């Protein structure tokens, strides 16, 4: 039998230390968990052994050996991280790390050991550097959630607070699983929206490219042919219009590019102002077709985030603050702030929620039922699942509507140019045939 020293958290989140007698590491982990504790660090005390049942009396004697096992928490290390280490990590990598860590902790592996295992197989350099710092900070006495705050660009406020709630409740593996599931579903919805926009953007770029090529490279050659063959005779109005558009692009190409660049800059500057940013967010939610998709995505994101936080044990006011800061839309953020103020005064969420046009009556009713039955977190998750399905339907509907519309627009533009060039050719052919007869 070997003696293992452990550091663990109880159900209230308080830290406790002690020793257990066990045949091996896995048996020691099981013994600690059997006491209702969540082990965060565990190491074998070298050179000591004792009969079973005498671990408690030797706990004090084992403390000096903890220095050799790396479990002493009396020394605090202030880790200073260079700015380049605090870059963004892809959501896919973070989600994979969270899912794997949840599996390892749930299988009984201590948190430190799980982080070390994942660090060895991590390919992303920024994430690997972050895991190095996190493991060092935990070994020096910090908690997992405190260590995560060192990397705000990798682990956001939502992630840190959920981990903190999991540590306090002794259910870290459950919270990590919820975090992974939340990230996976959020990324899935985001990818669907992005995927729906790829086709329209490709078609629009192709339309602009083809039209510009015809006006700048092809139409001038036709104009020269018409002048030579028709001797300056009047051209059909549609042909004249296309030729004038071609000449305008040839002589004012730089001005057009500068105008487009200036408009982009102006829109960016307006978007930086409070009023302009709010106006843009309103337009994103109200624009035809795309607005419906954006609104459903916003409702899904808000309810899933809030539901995940509440089910993980994060207090309601703190959860609302996190949701407000991560919603990504100022209209929704303002609504969440009103809900926060209402709850802070001891009132219901329903009234301020119903005053925001973003949230349909069905959402308001389900939230009200959740508050009355004490199952708000579960009800919010149900709302999110429902709106995830509606986002799928909206993406399918938008794609079905936009694809033929863009094809028709492209056909009209190119067809107009072709017809404009073909009409004078008929006149030329007629004149040649008449001269030949």
Running along the chain, 437 residues long, what does each successive block of 10 average in pLDDT? 77 74 79 77 61 40 41 41 55 87 86 88 88 86 85 84 79 83 81 78 84 86 81 80 88 86 91 86 84 85 87 86 84 90 88 88 90 89 88 79 82 87 80 60
pLDDT at 185: 81
pLDDT at 263: 93
Residue reference for tokens 């219901």: 348
pLDDT at 111: 86
Q: What is the mean pLDDT of the chain?
A: 80
| Cα 336 from Cα 349, distance rounded (Å) | 9
| Cα 203 from Cα 356, distance rounded (Å) | 36
Residue reference for tokens 């308080």: 14
pLDDT at 434: 59
CA 10 to chain centre: 33
* Beta strands, E only, 163-232: none
Rg (CA), the chain: 32
Locate 29 and state its tokens. Answer: 């982990």
Please state the pTM of the whole predicted model. Answer: 0.62
Locate 92 and state its tokens. Answer: 């896919």
Spell out the residues 6+ positions from residue 87 whose beta carbon is closer than 8 angstroms to its own: 126, 153, 154
Spell out the residues 6+ positions from residue 296 whose beta carbon is closer than 8 angstroms to its own: 387, 390, 391, 394
Sheet-wide strand order for 38-44: 15-22, 2-9, 38-44
Task: Please say whether the beta carbons of 62 and 5 come within 8 A.
Answer: yes
What is 7-57 written as a DSSP string? EEE-TTS-EEEEEEEESSHHHHHHHHHHTT-EEEEEEE-TT----TT-TTT
CB neighbour burial string for 100-117, b if at least 16 within 10 angstroms, e if fewer: bbbebbeebbbbbbbbee
CA-to-CA dists, residue 41 to 6, 110, 139, 287, 361, angstroms: 6, 6, 8, 53, 49
For the chain, the 3-state helix, strand and coil shares in percent, each to the nearest 5, are 70, 5, 25
Question: Count H helices, E strands: the chain?
Answer: 18, 3
Locate 320 and state its tokens. Answer: 């609302």
pLDDT at 61: 40
Q: Which helix (H) or strand (E) holds 327?
A: none
Spell out the residues 6+ positions from residue 287 whose beta carbon is closer than 8 angstroms to its own: 294
| Cα 67 from Cα 328, distance rounded (Å) | 47
Q: Pick the closest to residue 162 from 373, 270, 311 (CA basis).
A: 311
Residue 375 per-residue DSSP state: -
pLDDT at 110: 85
CA-to-CA dists, residue 98 to 44, 133, 186, 290, 328, angstroms: 27, 17, 14, 32, 23
């Amino acid at each position: 039998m070997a003696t293992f020293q452990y550091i663990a958290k109880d159900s209230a989140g308080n830290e406790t230390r002690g020793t257990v007698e066990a045949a091996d590491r896995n048996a020691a982990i099981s013994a600690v968990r059997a006491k209702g504790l969540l082990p965060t660090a565990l190491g074998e005390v070298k050179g000591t052994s004792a009969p079973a049942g005498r671990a408690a009396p030797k706990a004090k004697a084992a403390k000096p050996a903890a220095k050799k096992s790396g479990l002493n928490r009396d020394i605090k290390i202030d880790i200073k991280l260079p700015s380049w280490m605090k870059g963004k990590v892809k959501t896919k990598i973070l989600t994979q790390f969270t899912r794997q860590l949840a599996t390892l902790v749930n299988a009984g592996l201590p948190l430190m050991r799980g982080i070390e295992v994942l660090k060895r197989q991590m390919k992303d350099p920024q994430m690997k550097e972050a895991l190095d710092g996190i493991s060092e900070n935990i070994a020096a006495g910090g908690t997992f959630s405190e260590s995560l705050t060192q990397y705000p660009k990798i682990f956001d406020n939502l992630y840190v607070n959920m981990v903190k709630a999991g540590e306090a409740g002794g259910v870290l593996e459950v919270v990590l699983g919820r975090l992974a599931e939340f990230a996976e579903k959020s990324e899935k919805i985001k990818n669907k929206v992005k995927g729906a926009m790829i086709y329209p953007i490709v078609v629009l770029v192709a339309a602009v490219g083809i039209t510009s090529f015809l006006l700048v490279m092809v139409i001038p050659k036709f104009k020269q042919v018409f002048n030579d063959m028709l001797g300056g005779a009047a051209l059909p109005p549609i042909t004249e219009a296309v030729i004038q558009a071609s000449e305008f692009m040839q002589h004012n190409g730089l001005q057009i590019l500068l105008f487009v660049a200036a408009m982009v800059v102006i829109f960016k500057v307006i978007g930086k102002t409070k009023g302009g940013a709010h106006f843009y967010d309103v337009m994103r939610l109200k624009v035809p077709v795309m607005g419906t998709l954006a609104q459903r995505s916003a409702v899904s994101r808000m309810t899933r985030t809030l539901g995940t936080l509440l089910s993980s044990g994060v207090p309601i006011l703190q959860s609302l603050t996190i949701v407000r800061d991560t919603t990504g839309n100022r209209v929704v953020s303002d609504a969440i702030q009103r809900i926060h103020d209402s709850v802070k005064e001891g009132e219901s969420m329903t009234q301020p929620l119903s005053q925001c046009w973003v949230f349909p009556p069905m959402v308001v009713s389900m939230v009200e039922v959740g508050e009355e039955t004490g199952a708000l977190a579960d009800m919010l998750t149900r709302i999110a699942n429902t709106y995830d399905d509606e986002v799928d339907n909206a993406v399918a509907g938008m794609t079905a509507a936009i694809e033929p519309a863009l094809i028709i627009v492209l056909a009209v533009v190119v067809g107009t140019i072709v017809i404009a060039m073909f009409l004078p050719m008929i006149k030329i052919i007629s004149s040649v045939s008449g001269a030949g007869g």
